[in-house]
Structure 1
């Protein structure tokens, strides 16, 4: 049966850097073309975070695990909130990076981004995280302008038995319990529960910020397969309380997801997925949002001719949201029903031995600007020396959200900031050049040059009724992404990478921007990281992660270098004890926000226990 984009692998994929040339050709990723492809043949900038990488990092949250992808810009804003993006425009309300969990988009139509504090997934359940930088709108739709993050969880088959995890440290405590079982020869299931308790962060003067949080999540997954058919079912419930003045912020919700897949040996495969989600947010000051979302996607892959492979599909998403307006922030109308629909297609053709052309396109209709056309062209040249050179041209769009059109501030009218009734989509025309290879069984590398030409970016424009969001900023972002790994010895691996970014934005001719540029994001010129994984003995492992982030310009945040270290002892085959130290050589540093009220992240330590039966 063909492997499909939602991920149905029954066991953990081995680490990329550990593979021989023969094994490398068997590794698959599924987030570029919505179908399984060999990693060494994918004409896109892709980085895979494996389950073992997450475990050895000592990460305790999904955003923390994202730091393992050197192409991502990850900044922690407080105890719960993160700013995560690729290729610029980073913000806690970042809106150009699509995030999926098992094919389920988790962005909010309120601002086209992700509430990271609500994605409290159990890290032990993750099979891998596929990070694709560069436009992915041709196959995944609007908002995947700068890339996508796809979190793929393990099947129930791979999580049988009992496992437990607990960690406690100076800034966070948490625990999780999971049980997996069988329901006949063809069906497996797992249930898990996870709880966390995070302490307040502090300002530079030692004053505690009210951002501590506690929460719990319960999940269920079932997998059934027989012959060419496979079924998945997932359910989750969560709630979290986050301290905030004058009252706590409350986040809760749940979802149901079902998927049917049928694959055949001749390359044909069909997938249908449906999910429903309900979320609740209650902010300080009385603002809140309740949202119900339903989503359906169906796709079929086939081989129309020799040397060709095609994927066609359609999707429909409906969301009903109600906001509780306040005098300082409001949306009109308070109740909104909105729908998005799309059809997409892709064809991959072998032009010559080793030379492949990929044409893809997405026609998507949104409730604000109508129909958008999102095309992509990719060409790849696979040499006989385990090297892949590729190039791409894409048109990507970030469609308007509620904050762009429907926002207003009643207590500041007529001078407050409001959504623009004529706000249009932000457009990026993107060119990429990439090279990937494994010249030696112990050495691999990847590099991508990119140039994004932006038009119609969000600006704050003075009008007779006050400031409005309009589309008067334009310019470019360009840069270089690199990553590589080296298996120095059988017991020692090094991995390094980074991104170098240049952004130049200006108001379009004849217009003036009154502050919209600052709302687009705050990006460093470069981010780089170095990781070392050393198996000192068969039962003692030492991991060191070093990351450097250049200074942020506005608001100014100083550059910093953080060193995280984890020492793990395999006390017994089923019991691991580890100690993780974060910011080992740095008393404290800020990552986001304006001084003096921003959070400073101090040196911290945590003890973690993992037990499997």
Structure 2
């Protein structure tokens, strides 16, 4: 041990305190376009490989474009994919995307990331932006996602577009390693009644939906109750991580001439258990952890007009309220107001230009405790941005997209987020693309305002000098259909990181503070494809490989920082098979392989899942789902407290009318 480590300040317990703070925040993270297909279909069920390549995606350029033409690494999870997989939650649905690493740490806690840094320096994943119908759901407290607070009625999800790679130009700060854009079905596509019942070895849920029309308007309402059972550790110890939640939601859509309107609202309340084994101790006294109480409500409204000259104008606004009580550490109440304007201009020569503006304001109030404090306890923040993008047709088979966003935040001022993307149509069914981008993750209250009491007088003080974490990204991709029935995509990427967050010992040797003294690289490849073996049998596969290197910059004493790379697998593999016996019976089998994690150590594992679906009648479907059929395994977190993900068997009944 170095002389620095032998001074009166003892960094090991202090670093443990910092990890405890991050764990409290991250528990659950280790916790609308109606255009569908170029052919005009409004249902993704039973699409051919060729039709899937023509799906209209909007997340890359914020305008409809064919998946084959999109100059980015995009994987689309369709509504039928979700149904066939038997997913019971949004994180389970995201396992279908081969360009994501989805790791479950408890009954409700997930760590989800793309292209590495799945939890950097004792923090939850914080470089992935998640949108639900245009509403950002990342938490400004730590730039991550409380996944338990994003529970959706999956039967209402139309598609999920997963972009691995930077999306800062279109979506702003925090879209560093990926963007998940979730779109729910328009109300007109969910008419009539629906009821869902699911029961399994790990709990169950019940949901209903009722849709109708009134004049020019379509509407729906839904409700859902769920309960997840407690988990066990690998040693067989019970973890008090059960989860109960109730929610109600509505959506209304209507059109009048060139105008379309949409209103979307949700309310929820939940209770989550906290694991007692390994209860946090900062000052040497064990803490008894109570249940986490969550609640939230959001309301979004969107207006869109098709202009006479071929352009488009849209305005979206939303209000979002959440409250999270995590005894005995802290309670946070957060309100967000967001307003966005977008204008797509008519085509002008070879140029297709769009621009937009976004204004977001938050009111954040934390009830502090003797364990953790955010100072000041109440804080207001504003994010304001302007962005523009121009798609230039250099020739019929070659296009160049140039875009940039300037976004201002209260901590680091103006951030510049440019991108350049080149797309080359090699042949009607083959496309090559390349991109250069710069994006950032802006500091949060965890980085700047977090304090942990201790002697003297704090173990941790916030880092007022923390800078934005910067990623400069180069990508090269191919997407094509070599012959009928086969489609595949491959992307190589190289990320250059700078100013990554570190935990520094103050020169006085009395406390820790956050700094920005780490840099590094991540290089990898991601591939996936589908093959229609016969009219009844479809096979698909996905593979990722990742190599990360992080190093401290001069002046840093955070020896643990480079170990952040150990939270990601070096490779993942998934294989899926779907077979339709007839128009009433189908079988889906999936096999996943995830390599080992190093920090904390988690062995690599295989997971075998299967679902058999049987349409008993025109309006009644029964399915049996089995997960981890080959045995239990751990996925994320320290061995002493992480959940052992065991075999699960469940039955689901869906009735429609």
TM-score greater than 0.5 by the shorter chain: yes
CA separation in 2, counterparts of 1:345 and 1:471?
Answer: 30
The one-character-per-residue Cα deviations of 1:506-564 (angstroms, maximum 9, x if unpaired) are 10134322433456771010111011110012211100111110000110000000000
CA separation in 2, counterparts of 1:45 and 1:267?
Answer: 28
1:349-428 → structure 2 map (5 Å cutoff): 349-411=392-454, 413-414=456-457, 416-428=459-471
SS at match of 1:416: strand
Displacement, 1:228? Answer: 1.2
CA separation in 2, counterparts of 1:142 and 1:605?
Answer: 40
Displacement, 1:362? Answer: 0.3
1:196 has 2:226 as partner: yes
Instruction: Structure 1: give runs of 5+ residues left out of the alignment.
Output: 1-5
1:594 has 2:608 as partner: no
CA contact (8 A) 1:531 1:543 kept: yes
1:454-493 → structure 2 map (5 Å cutoff): 454-463=497-506, 464=508, 465-493=510-538
1:564 has 2:609 as partner: yes
* 1:145 matched residue in structure 2: 176
CA separation in 2, counterparts of 1:14 and 1:8?
Answer: 13
Most deviating of 11-20 and 334-343: 11-20
* 2:141 matched residue in structure 1: 110
Q: What is the TM-score normalised by the length of structure 1?
A: 0.96
1:176 pairs with one of 171, 185, 207: 207
SS at match of 1:601: coil
1:525 has 2:570 as partner: yes
**1:514/1:420 CA distance change after superposition, 3 Å:** farther
CA separation in 2, counterparts of 1:471 and 1:578?
Answer: 50
Displacement, 1:284? Answer: 2.3
* 2:67 matched residue in structure 1: 39
CA separation in 2, counterparts of 1:514 and 1:414?
Answer: 24
SS at match of 2:91: helix
The one-character-per-residue Cα deviations of 1:344-385 (angstroms, maximum 9, x if unpaired) are 000000011200000000000001000001000000101224
The one-character-per-residue Cα deviations of 1:23-55 (angstroms, maximum 9, x if unpaired) are 456421000111111111110000000000000
SS at match of 1:400: coil
Displacement, 1:443? Answer: 0.5
The one-character-per-residue Cα deviations of 1:560-604 (angstroms, maximum 9, x if unpaired) are 000000011110111110110111111x11001111221101111
CA contact (8 A) 1:459 1:514 kept: no
1:2-41 → structure 2 map (5 Å cutoff): 6-9=32-35, 12-14=42-44, 18-20=48-50, 23=51, 26-41=54-69
* 2:619 matched residue in structure 1: 574
CA separation in 2, counterparts of 1:446 and 1:333?
Answer: 48
**1:119/1:421 CA distance change after superposition, 3 Å:** same
* 1:610 matched residue in structure 2: 654
2:77 pairs with one of 39, 42, 49: 49
1:535 has 2:580 as partner: yes
**1:17/1:392 CA distance change after superposition, 3 Å:** farther
* 1:3 matched residue in structure 2: none
**1:24/1:592 CA distance change after superposition, 3 Å:** closer
CA separation in 2, counterparts of 1:572 and 1:84?
Answer: 38
SS at match of 1:383: strand
* 2:282 matched residue in structure 1: none
**1:133/1:16 CA distance change after superposition, 3 Å:** farther
1:443-458 → structure 2 map (5 Å cutoff): 443-458=486-501
RMSD (Å) for aligned C-alpha atoms = 1.5
CA contact (8 A) 2:341 2:358 kept: yes
SS at match of 2:81: helix
1:205 has 2:231 as partner: no
1:507 has 2:578 as partner: no
* 2:541 matched residue in structure 1: 496
CA separation in 2, counterparts of 1:548 and 1:281?
Answer: 34
* 2:91 matched residue in structure 1: 63
Displacement, 1:225? Answer: 0.7
CA separation in 2, counterparts of 1:265 and 1:349?
Answer: 22
**1:359/1:203 CA distance change after superposition, 3 Å:** same
Q: What is the TM-score normalised by the length of structure 2?
A: 0.90
2:185 pairs with one of 145, 154, 170: 154
The one-character-per-residue Cα deviations of 1:152-200 (angstroms, maximum 9, x if unpaired) are 000000000001111001002001000000011x210000001100000
Displacement, 1:458? Answer: 0.5
CA contact (8 A) 2:548 2:565 kept: no
**1:431/1:318 CA distance change after superposition, 3 Å:** same
Displacement, 1:306? Answer: 1.7
1:223 has 2:256 as partner: no
Most deviating of 515-524 and 107-116: 515-524
The one-character-per-residue Cα deviations of 1:249-285 (angstroms, maximum 9, x if unpaired) are 0111010000000114753001100000110000021
SS at match of 2:611: strand
CA contact (8 A) 1:395 1:430 kept: yes
SS at match of 1:247: coil
1:240 has 2:256 as partner: no
